[in-house]
Amino acid sequence: MPSERTAMSPAGASGLLLVVLLGLMGVELHAATGGFALGEWLRPLAGPTGTGEWLLALTWWPRLVTALIAGAGLAIAGVLMQQVLRNPLASPTTLGVAGGANLALMAASLFAPGLMLVGSEWVALAGGAAAMGLVFLLSWRQALSPLVVVLAGLVVNLYLGALAMVLLLFNQETLQGLLIWGAGSLAQDGWHDAAFLLPRLAVGLVAAWLLLRPLRVLELDDASGRSLGVNLAGLRLAALGAAVFLTGTVVSVVGLIGFIGLAAPNIARLLGAERLGARLFWAPIIGALLLAVTDLLLQSASAWLPTLIPTGAMTAALGAPLLLWLIPRLRLEVAPPTLGETGWPRAGRPERRLMWIAAALVPATLLALFSGHVAGQWTWWSGASPVWEWRLPRMLAAAGAGILLAVAGTLLQRLTGNPMASPEVLGISGGVAIFLLLGIVLLPAVSLPLLVLLGVAGALVALVVLITLNARSGFLPERLLLTGVAITALAEAVRALVLAGSDPRGQQIVAWLSGSTYFVGTAEAFVVLGFGVLAALAVLVLSRWLDLLPLGAPVSRALGVPVGGGRLAVLGVSAVLTAAATLVIGPLSFVGLLAPHMARLLGLSRARDHLLGAALIGAVLMILADWIGRQIQFPHEIPAGLVASLIGGTYFLWALRRL
């Protein structure tokens, strides 16, 4: 991160936040006690008498103290993670620690409630540590490159989110309360949470200060650190262990509080606290005040809001724009890996490979239409019953969505020269999800044409953000990917807000988010498939551009390609295709990554062959994902989007490991 001194110091920013906090406290406490004197505000703590004073003593004051402790703990965790990884984008949220802790708590609540009696913080600690260990495993070969670490954190977050969505889909009523808690609820009914958090925060803070001098060595390169006799592996393990402990403790009590661990250390750094000791001092102060101010603002606005908004989801919604603002100011200290066009096999006769892939559609189609469970038993043929008529729309919709996502992913990968690019990773699917979720919840009635318009608008807005933040850098792959991380995080925040609001349409929203084809009719299915086939054929006119753009702007211009206009055209087409597919299959799917990869592994290197091969593979993958989802838990169903995301996410993890 470059040194960008501002007119305000960390002390000034903390003072400003403190003034805002005291002002909000004054408004709230005056309304509750009728006075402005500090003694009147504190009197309920000594001996509450009326109902209002009991509420202050057992809910309002404990909530404020819990917010301050949780914000400080997450900020310390963020400082430790950023120092160890030399990565200003590292935080409990971006590294998947919070998501791993949340999934572990959900799973323990459902399948091993006895573990919760042992200690929920230990369950959360185990989940967070496992998630961080997976991120490190994926990025270790690239020396924990900031780009690869953040990418690994993104895919681990999405993968854990898919698993959590499976649990939610089958246990929505059981987990409804956990949804509100999981979105970051600071609601209190006593002092037990604050009493639980405070000593653990003290332990984490003491551990951080004990590690202060050794951690300064990590500002040097590894060779210099070893020459000073420092056990770098042990030091990193100790510091990250303290960070995971703090994160797991906070998550176990108040749920997911997004982006405080990212925002507070970076705000302290940007305000001039460049030394580690200064950041460890100011970041927890800023984090505590940020979370408390956000929570008080939400409490003040609750009278005008239609539903309860969890504080953690709101901090995530506010933190995503901060991440977008930080990306152009990010200086990667470790060179990102080369993710170029080399190393792929080339088929001598690609048309034969295309014919074999097309032939694979036949058994996949027959399997989806004429096999499966009927009336509680397995059958290989149901032509005498109307069952296949119910399966046909789902099969067609899945195939069409697979084609659309595969073509969009191919366009993005060839445009950026980065095989890790896909609609999900670049945030285009996230932009569609944001607009669709807000439209479903805020508008009185939504028709299919309106949903299409909302989806396209969301994709285009995400595209505008991508272009605005990356035009000056020449659309560097790492900048595009990090921008996608931020947009995806914002979509996750909106999802948490919607699901925690107890909306009566929650079951339908969950079904759409998970990518179910259950609600698709025959007419819509033919439209989706027809649009997918036409789109796959239409983008073949861009084949020449897609062959030349990965060679670089100078070469492309010399060969007559309008580089700026060509990139915009490819991004625009990708956005529209992603919007159409997301309407059917939801935002959580890795087909846009997996299908182009498989096509390249089969030797389809030229753009035309790559597009056609990816489209066919995408159709096969989604047909099989839909069929597997209908059979594996019969009579219950795992939506096609979730099955595809679990398959594609596994492949993404493998691909990152091989970078």
The model's pLDDT over 64-90, given as tens digits with 9 standing for 90+, comes to 899 899 999 999 999 998 888 877 777
Query: What's the CA gap between 181 and 184, in Å, rounded?
Result: 5
Decide: 75 and 284 in contact? Cβ < 8 Å: yes
What contacts 322, CB < 8 A, 6 or more positions away?
259, 262, 263, 266
Mean pLDDT, range 284-305, rounded to an integer = 82
Predicted local confidence at residue 371, as pLDDT: 78
Task: Evaluate if residue 60 carries a pLDDT over 70.
Answer: yes
Task: Evaluate if residue 334 carries a pLDDT over 50.
Answer: no
Task: Evaluate if residue 336 carries a pLDDT over 50.
Answer: no
Question: 223, exposed or middle or buried, with CB in 10 Å at 0-12, 13-18, 19+?
Answer: exposed
Predicted local confidence at residue 68, as pLDDT: 92
Query: What's the CA gap between 205 and 10, in Å, rounded?
Result: 19
Q: How confident is the model at residue 620 (pLDDT cuts 50, 70, 90)?
A: very high
Task: Evaluate if residue 385 carries a pLDDT over 60.
Answer: no
| Model pTM score | 0.74
Inter-residue long-range contacts of 112-120, CB under 8 Å, 24+ positions, other chains counted = 120/252, 120/253
pLDDT tens sequence across 185-229: 777 778 888 898 899 899 988 988 888 888 887 766 666 666 766
Task: Evaluate if residue 285 carries a pLDDT over 90.
Answer: yes
Task: Evaluate if residue 292 carries a pLDDT over 80.
Answer: yes
pLDDT mean across residues, the chain: 77
Which of 54-58, 321-325, 330-334 is predicted most confidently? Answer: 54-58
Task: Evaluate if residue 617 carries a pLDDT over 90.
Answer: yes
Predicted local confidence at residue 73, as pLDDT: 92
Q: How confident is the model at residue 298 (pLDDT cuts 50, 70, 90)?
A: confident
DSSP state of 337: P
Of residues 499 and 432, the one with the higher pLDDT is 432
pLDDT tens sequence across 158-180: 788 778 877 877 776 666 556 66
Task: Evaluate if residue 376 carries a pLDDT over 90.
Answer: no
pLDDT tens sequence across 526-556: 888 888 889 888 888 877 777 776 666 666 6
Predicted local confidence at residue 616, as pLDDT: 93
Task: Evaluate if residue 357 carries a pLDDT over 80.
Answer: yes
pLDDT tens sequence across 127-140: 888 888 888 888 77
Structural domains of the chain in order of their starting residue, each with its CATH number: 10-329 (1.10.3470.10), 392-657 (1.10.3470.10)
Residue 612's alpha-carbon distances to 157, 342, 600, 621, in angstroms, are 31, 21, 11, 14
Quote the distance between the C-alpha of residue 556 and its chain's center.
34
Residue 54's alpha-carbon distances to 42, 44, 191, 224, in angstroms, are 12, 7, 12, 58
